[in-house]
Amino acid sequence: MLEGRRLLVTGVVTRGSIAFEVARQAQEAGAEVLLTGFGRARRLTERAAAKLPEPADVLELDVNSPEDLATVAEEVGARWGALDGVLHAVAFAPEDALGGRFLTTPVDSAVTAFRTSAYSLKAVVEALLYDWMGVSKAALESVSRYLARDVGAQGVRVNLVSAGPIRTLAAGGIPGFDRLADAWGRQAPLGWDTADAAPVAAAACFLLSEHARAITGEVLHVDGGYHAMGAALHA
C-alpha cells in the first residue's frame, strides 16, 4: 500500500506510542520511514526505532523550534529530495492547562498548549511540505482545513485521525484518563481496547497511501464508534 513512499513520523516515544505502530505498519506496507525525537526523550525514541522491522534513524525535532524545523527539512532534502507524507503526532499542555482548569489556566500555558498541539502542524507543513503564510485559527481541526485548502493544488493532502484513548506514555499525564478509557469501552458500539494502537495506525497508513488520494480536509474517527453515540448504550 505504501511501496516506495517516504514518510516522516513524529511523536514516537515508546513502542506503545500510536506513532510507533504507524511507523511499523508503514514499513511493512513498503514505506521508508524517518522518525523524530526531542530532548531527553530522544533516547527513548531511538530505542523504539531500533525495534521497528527496519531500524529507523531519528532526527532531532522540537516542533516549536524554527531552527530544528529548518535542519530537519535540510536533512530530508539531502536524503530523499522530497517527502510523500508526514505524521504529526505531537501534543503537549502544561499541568495547569489540564484537568478542567480552563478558567484558571495562565495565558502562557494556554499559548504553549496551542502552539505545540495545533500551530505546530502549520509549522511542520510550512517547513517540510509547502511554503505559505497566514493561518490564524485556534484549533488543530481549523488549521488542518486551511492547510487542505491552501496546499491541495500542490498535491498535498491534510487529514486528521481522531483516535479513541490509547494507553501511551503521554496518556499517563492526562487527569481522569482511566475513567475516560473505562467509559469509552462501555459506550463505543464496537468496543475499545486502550492497549491496541493498531486500528489507529492502520487508518493513518490508509490516509498516507494512494488509496486516500481523493481525501483531504477530513477528520477520520477511529474510536469504536464512540463519537457517533448521542446516548448511553444499554445491555
Strands 58-60 and 32-37: parallel
157 closest CA partner among 63, 84, 221: 84
CA 168/CA 109 separation, integer angstroms: 23
Is 130 labeled as catalytic in the residue annotation? Answer: yes
What are the grid coordinates assigned to 186, written together?
A: 462501555
State whether residue 38 is helix, strand or coil: coil
Say which amino acid occupies 150: D
Is 226 labeled as catalytic in the residue annotation? Answer: no
Candidate list 51, 119, 122, 137, residue with the active-site label: 137
CB atoms within 10 A of CB 179: 9
Candidate list 51, 119, 122, 130, residue with the active-site label: 130
DSSP code of 221? Answer: E
Active site residues: 130, 137
